[in-house]
Each structure stands twice: as C-alpha cells, then as structure tokens.
Amino acid sequence: MHHARRTTASLAAALAAGTLALAGCAGPGTAAAAGDSVVVDYWLWDSNQLPAYQRCADEFEKQNPDLQVRISQYGWNDYWRKLTAGFVAGAGPDVFTDHLTQYPGFAERGLLRDLNTLEATADVDYGGFQEGLADLWVGQEGSQYGMPKDFDTVALFYDTTMISEAGMSPEDIAGLDWNPEDGGSFEKALAHLTVDENGVRGDEEGFDPKNVAVYGLASNGSGGMSGQTTWSWLAGATGWTFTDADVWGTEYHFDDPRVQASLKWLFGLVEKGYMAPYEEVGTEPNPQQALGSGRAAISANGSWMLGTYANLEGVDLGIAPPPSGPVGHPVSMYNGLADSISAQSPDPEEAARWVAFLGSDDCQRIVGEAGVVLPARPAGTEAAIEAFGERGLDASVFTDLVEKKQTVFFPVTEEFGAIDALMTPMMDEIYIGDRDVATLTEVNDQVNGLLK
Amino acid sequence: MAAPPAPTVRGGRVGRRDDTRLALLFILPAGIGLVAFYFWPLLRGIWLSFTSWDLLSPAQFVGLDNYRAMAADPVFWNAVRVTLLYVVINIALQTAVALVIAVLMQRLSRSTLLRSLVLAPYLVSNVVAALVFLWILDFQLGIGNQVLEWIGLERIGFFTSEAWAIPTIAVVNVWRHMGYTALLIFAGLQAIPATTYEAARVDGASEVRTFFGITLPLLRPILGLVLIISVIGSFQVFDTVAVTTNGGPVDASRVLQLYIYDKAFGQFDFGYASALSVAMLLILVVVTFFQYRMTRAGQTDLN
C-alpha cells in the first residue's frame, strides 16, 4: 500500500518536473510576448510536497486565468545558495518557501516584501492560523514577512514490537518523565531498551557499554545551535528558552545551567552506552535508519519525518510525546515555515494573490490531504491528521503539543549563520566528549557579541 | 618613381610586420581570457579582502580589519595547521609511492595495459572516489571496518575521529593521484639516457645503487616540478573533505579551502573569505619559491 502510494507520488513528481522543464523553456518569453498572463515563479525545497503544491497551483490558475504559477524545487542544500545567487543576479523567484533561520538575514537587507503593503495580503486575518505561527514572521518594525504555510513539532518514534519485547507498552513510553540530574524514568527506559552484544540489557548486571547491539536512543548528531530534534526538547522541558524574547531576542541563554545540564545528560548517554558515539554516526547521522535496522529503539524526530518513519520496513511504528520534564509536561520545539515575497519581484501584487491563496483554507487543505506536513491553518491541519490516520498514523501527538502550548520557539535572531558556524563544531566537541558544557558560558558571550 | 628597394630587404620588412600582427592576433584570445578570468578576479579578490561584503549590499572599505580579525581567528590558524598536516602526509606518501611505481614501470615492465591501469584511479572524479571510500570506511557498515573486525582489530572511525580524519583523507587522495604523479615521473625517467644505465651495469652496480646514484639525481628537475605542481594542488584540497567530513569532527579536517568556502557561501562573508584566500595565495607563493630554490628545478645535471 505504502509502496504503491510512493510510486504514484514520485511519478506525479516526475511528471510535474517534466512539465516544469517544458514550461521553463517557454515561460518567460511567451509571457512577455503575450502580455496577457503574468507568470509567478515559486520555489520550494521539499520534493515530497511538490505534487500537493502543484495541485494548489492548478486550482489557483483555474480561479485566476490571468496568472500562471511556475514551481521549481531544489534540494535543501542547494536551495539557499541558489536563492542567494538569484537575489544577487536579480533572477530569483517571486515567491519562495522561507525558513525562520534565514529570513532575518533577508529582511535585514531589504530583500523581502512586507505583506501588509500588498493588496491581496493586506487584510489577511493572521488569527486564522495555528497560534503564534504568524508572529514568528513579523519583523522588528512590524512588517509581515511571511504567510504561514505549515508547522512542525518533535516527538518520539519507536518500534512497538521492540518495546513489547522489552516488556513495555506504548502507554509506558507516552508517560515517561525526565530531569537532567538522574534522567528520571526516561533514562531508566532507555537503559532497559539498550541491549549489548551478549544480549544483556543496559539496566542489568554485566552490561557492556562498549559493545552495544541496540541503543536505547538513536543519535541525530549534536544538533548544532538549535538542537531541534536532539536536545531542544530536553532543555525546553527544564523551562529554558533560547533567547530573551520569543522572536528577535538580543541575548542567547547558553550560559544557563539548565541547558548545560541538559546537554551534559544527553551526551553523557554515550558513555553509559545508551546512545551511539559520534565516531559511529559522524556528520551525517541517520536516526530513521538506526530505528529501521533495529540499531536503536527510540528516535526523537520532527513531524515532517512522519512519512519517512511510517515507510520503514518491518517497523510497527509508535509515536509518543517527548518525556515530561521539570516544568511538569513535555516540551517540543515549534517551528513554522512561511511563504515570502521577494522585494525584487516585478509583479508583487500578482505574487501576493498567489501567497494569499497559499495561505487559504483551499490550498492548505489540498496540502493537508497529501499527508506530508501539518499545514498552518486548522482546516489544513485536520485534513493532514485525517490523511495520516488513514495510513494508521496518529499525528495528533504533534498537534497536541501545540494545542497545550507545550512548545518552545525556534530561535529567530540576527546573525544566525555566523552563530551556527561558531556553535556547531563546539556542540560536536561536547558530543565527542572533548569539551565541558560549562565552557558554553564563555561561548555565550561570543554569541551575544555577534548580535551587537 | 623611386627605385624599388632590394627584394631581400622588402621581404624582410614585410615579413616582420606580418609576424607581429599575426602573433598579437594569436595571443589575443588567450590574452583576453587571462585578463578577464585570471588577472581581473585576482585583483578584485585582493580588493575585496579590504572590504566587508555580503553579496547583497554594496561592499564597504574596511582597510585591514579582515586581516586583523584573521590574525586573531583560532579557526584560521587551526585551518593552516590542518592543511599543512594534510599536505605533508599527502605529498610525502604520494611522491614516494609514485616514484616506486614509475621506476618499476621503467625497469620491470613496459606494458601499456599496466600503465593504463596505474592511471585508472585518476580517471575517477574526486567526489566519486571520496564517496566510495566514505562507504568502504563507514564505522558501522563499511567493509573496511568489517575486515578490521574479522582480523580481530578494533573498528576505526576513519572519517569520524579527530585523529584519523586528515590521514584518511590524505591517503584517499594519494590513491587517486599516485598514478598520475607516477606517469609524470615516468616521463622524466624516459629522458635519462639508457647509456648511463648501461655504464652502471657494466660497472656492476646493484639496482638500489643505480636508483640512488643515477635515477634520483638525474630525475631531480622533473621531481622538483612534479612536487611544485602537486604541492599547490594539495594545498587546495576541498572536494574530498567536503564530501566525507565537511570539516569535522569539530575542526579536525577544516582545511583552508573549506573554511574559505564556509565563510563565503555559508555565511556570505565575502570580504573575510577574500582575505583568507589572499593569505592562502601568500602561503603558496612562499612555499613554491622555496621549493623552486631548494630543488633547483630550473637546472639539470644531464648536460
């Protein structure tokens, strides 16, 4: 079933790509020559979402015969380089999928349109999106730089069979608690799920942490400066926040003992044998593969990975919220994507009409029905939960976290690139075990120095 | 009408004039290319190193700020150290292995098939070679580590431990380049007159004695040039690192080129990246100058 779906999806993607290539050949010339239809260039990075957005574009073109939408998809790594090159050459898209880590830099350089100044998007009621998502895209002077499109949170994925073999139930996993001192019942569960090469469990006598066959927790690397799927849900559950404000903070909090203790606990798992060492996973960790191959029992990852985990062969997938922390409940990072309009677009009003449609119930429901991501409008979110439900997947774990406000925002500040470049090697060093978490206090001064 | 000039003189003048024009015409395309794609970017790069430029807003002149920041930047100095370590391991191994292969090719077998085989790794692109070794040497799944385990040794994090990353990358590149270097050296060996070897044989010199007494000294100029070319190439290592470790673990394989690339295309700090590039240029100029002097690559002992 899943396989068939995937084939159809990729076929559709291939067809769409083919059509795009053809359109790409003819597009600009004919549009300019004919003069009766304006072409709006739209970029996104996720190939899984391309078919759904193509359906949106078809629907939009039906409703707006004078407009044509041309979608291009580039992989995440090329996407930002191409986009920047596009800005430099003045040949970028009119509308593009934007990320919280990138838009402050663009906004700072005046490369984004304020949606409030364009006719089609001026009167959008941003209260109609999942709570807080629209605020993430408001610039320091109150400009709206993005139309929310989807959101993601983080939860625990596990193989139900492996859990029950260990004598645990899905309810057990959903009801774990954690603290940075002794790790709580979460650490006990990880210990129990860890098995060494002689078949001895991590909480049993004679366990060999140097020769582990199954790790309790799958490694997803050091997580860099945001630790989105690695440590943000731990540090967040202590009540720690990245910066002094939800958005546009001017001071980071890496000097806080709570984040340092959380990191120390997480990467301390390596020595205990409950998580793979850096040596094993390197710079390209693959937690879904670790879960799929039975190398790890539990993997923390984002809602956007739901489809990938669901397709793992031989895994009876279970999903649970992150463990409840010292604040008394689980916490997940809450990240939202949006569509932005380039300031270089020659047809901003037309681009705004497309963006308004992207942010409408109509389009977000189409995207939701594809069952790939969780759209930002409740109608779209519900459609997605239903689509996932049809495949036997309970996506409500991800949305509950948002409903119950058990979230911490992705840090939105200036200088993200420089801060990330500074911190990622240091986080790796902490993971490897060569750096004491206490040194983050000094690093925090450096980080805050970059913000001044 | 004046008397016609002597045919020889006229012919000479006409010939000279034609030559100059023709020569200029021939040089022109290459000249334009050299100025447009070489001198201009070089000058612009040097100019940019005195500016702060993020591609999207106009460049601002900041004087020596980038160079001051560079002098105080631990990542830069680490990159210099890591790059030097890479060059030393890479060049020492590569030259030694290539020299042995070249001498064997000359003294033992003249099979064209063998020569082609030796060159084969060089035909594989850097990125592909790096990817293949990344899989072979993967800590968990790589056959390299499986073999280590079968023969009773510990698994090694070839690309994922700080101690092994640079040596591993250096050896991967030795594997790819040794055939090419061997071929260059082999060409040099062909230039050594066979009579000197005959004389050595008549005198009863052993193969080893012949190698150190004849081959090496007579090969010196070629070896010098090969070294200069391969050292410059080695300093510019990038793709293998980008594919396998991306500079990690931590900064253990963050070579200069990768740091320049990170700064320019990762953080859009083109001013600083240009300053780093100028530093690399200076290092190469100094290294090449000393190499040239030390190996006396411009002179030969064959005369």
| Residue A284 pLDDT level (bands cut at 50, 70, 90) | confident
Give B161's contacts in chain A (Cβ within 8 Å): 279
Per-residue pLDDT at B1 exceeds 70: no
**From A278, which residue of chain B is nearest by alpha-carbon distance?**
B160
Burial of A135 (0-12, 13-18, 19+ CB in 10 A): middle
**CA distances from residue B66 to A126, A418, B40, B277 in whole angstroms, order as listed:** 44, 15, 21, 11
**From B74, which residue of chain A is nearest by alpha-carbon distance?**
A422
Q: What is the pLDDT of residue B12?
A: 47
Q: What is the pLDDT of residue A156?
A: 96
Per-residue pLDDT at A439 exceeds 90: yes
| Residue A13 pLDDT level (bands cut at 50, 70, 90) | very low
Q: Look up residue A6 and give its amino acid.
A: R
Cβ atoms of B144 and B191 closer than 8 Å: no
| Residue B20 pLDDT level (bands cut at 50, 70, 90) | confident
Write the class of the CATH domain B66-295.
mainly alpha
Per-residue pLDDT at B14 exceeds 70: no
Q: Do B267 and A88 touch (CB under 8 A)?
A: no
Q: What is the pLDDT of residue A332?
A: 95
Q: Do A109 and B57 touch (CB under 8 A)?
A: yes
Q: What is the pLDDT of residue A189?
A: 95
What DSSP line would sit under B237-286, residue for residue? --HHHHHHTTT-STTTT--HHHHHHIIIIIS--HHHHHHHHHHHHHHHHH
What token pair was written down for A275?
A: 């998580």
| pLDDT tens digits, A220-229 | 999 989 999 9
What token pair was written down for B146?
A: 């499986």
Q: Give the SS3 label for residue A369.
A: helix
Cβ atoms of A94 and A351 closer than 8 Å: yes
| Domain extent listing, chain B | 7-48, 66-295
Q: What is the pLDDT of residue B16?
A: 54
CA atoms within 13 A on the CB side of B182: 28
Instruction: For residues B250 and B253, give the distance between their C-alpha atoms in angstroms, rounded to a whole number.
Output: 8
Residue from B268, B270, B272 whose CB has the most chain A CBs within 10 Å, to mutate = B268
Q: Give the SS3 label for residue B170.
A: helix
User: A450 in contact with B at a CB cutoff of 8 Å?
Assistant: no
Burial of B144 (0-12, 13-18, 19+ CB in 10 A): middle
Q: How far is CA A98 from the centre of its chain?
A: 12
Per-residue pLDDT at B247 exceeds 50: yes
Instruction: For residues A451 and B262, give the distance between their C-alpha atoms in angstroms, rounded to a whole number.
Output: 20
User: Which residues face A147 on adjacent strands?
Assistant: A339
What is the mean predicted confidence (pLDDT) over A295-305?
Answer: 93
Q: Which stretches of B72-215 are DSSP H helices?
A: 74-107, 112-123, 126-136, 143-150, 162-190, 194-202, 207-210
Cβ atoms of B214 and B198 closer than 8 Å: no
**From B246, which residue of chain A is nearest by alpha-carbon distance?**
A283
What is the mean predicted confidence (pLDDT) over A201-224?
Answer: 93
Q: Which of A88, A418, A428 is closest, CB to CB, to B55?
A: A88
Cβ atoms of A79 and A43 closer than 8 Å: yes
Torsion A386-A391-A392-A398 (CA) sign: negative
User: B157 in contact with A at a CB cutoff of 8 Å?
Assistant: yes
Q: E-assigned strands of A236-354?
A: 296-302, 317-320, 332-341
Q: What is the pLDDT of residue A196?
A: 94
What is the mean predicted confidence (pLDDT) over A192-207?
Answer: 93
Q: Where in chain A is the domain with CATH 3.40.190.10?
A: 2-151+337-394, 154-334+408-450
Backbone angles phi, psi at A43, to 5 degrees: -115, 145
Instruction: For residues A233 and A323, give the distance between their C-alpha atoms in angstroms, rounded to a whole number.
Output: 9
What is the mean predicted confidence (pLDDT) over A64-82?
Answer: 90
| Residue B7 pLDDT level (bands cut at 50, 70, 90) | very low
User: B161 in contact with A at a CB cutoff of 8 Å?
Assistant: yes
> Largest Cα–Cα distance of chain A, in whole Å?
79
Per-residue exposure over B4-35, b if at least 16 CB sit within 10 Å of its own CB, e if not: eeeeeeeeeeeeeeeeeeeeeeeeeeeeeeee
| Residue A21 pLDDT level (bands cut at 50, 70, 90) | very low
SS3 annotation, A61-112: HHHCCCEEEEEEECCHHHHHHHHHHHHHHCCCCCEEEECCCCHHHHHHCCCE
Torsion B56-B58-B59-B65 (CA) sign: negative
Q: What is the pLDDT of residue A448?
A: 93
Q: Do A421 and B250 touch (CB under 8 A)?
A: no
The CATH superfamily assigned to A154-334+408-450 is Periplasmic binding protein-like II (3.40.190.10)
**From B158, which residue of chain A is nearest by alpha-carbon distance?**
A279
Nearest Cα neighbor of A72 from A87, A61, A57 is A57
Max mean pLDDT among A124-138, A322-336, B138-152, B201-215 falls in A322-336
| Dihedral (Cα; A370, A374, A375, A377), 10-degree rounding | 130
| Residue B115 pLDDT level (bands cut at 50, 70, 90) | confident
The verdict on ipTM greater than 0.90 is: no
**From B269, which residue of chain A is nearest by alpha-carbon distance?**
A418
Give A426's contacts in chain B (Cβ within 8 Å): 250
Mean of the per-residue pLDDT values of chain B: 87
Give the list of residues 6+ apart from residue A207 with CB closer than 8 angstroms, or none: A194, A196, A200, A201, A273
What is the mean predicted confidence (pLDDT) over A406-425?
Answer: 89
| pLDDT tens digits, B176-217 | 999 999 999 998 888 888 888 888 888 888 888 888 888 888
> What is the pairing mode between strands A95-98 and A147-152?
unpaired
Per-residue pLDDT at A20 exceeds 90: no
Cβ atoms of B170 and B252 closer than 8 Å: no
Q: Do A280 and B268 touch (CB under 8 A)?
A: no
Residue from B57, B241, B250 whose CB has the most chain A CBs within 10 Å, to mutate = B250
What is the mean predicted confidence (pLDDT) over A14-38?
Answer: 44
Per-residue pLDDT at B113 exceeds 60: yes
Omega before B249 within 30 of 0, i.e. cis: yes
Instruction: For residues A430 and A423, give the distance between their C-alpha atoms in angstroms, rounded to a whole number.
Output: 10
In chain B, residues 30-59 whose CB comes closer than 8 Å to chain A: 54-57
Q: Which stretches of A273-347 are DSSP H helices?
A: 278-281, 287-292, 306-310
CATH architecture group of domain A2-151+337-394? 3-Layer(aba) Sandwich (3.40)
Instruction: For residues B255 and A152, give the distance between their C-alpha atoms in angstroms, rounded to a whole number.
Output: 36
Instruction: For residues A236 and A324, give the distance between their C-alpha atoms in angstroms, rounded to a whole number.
Output: 10
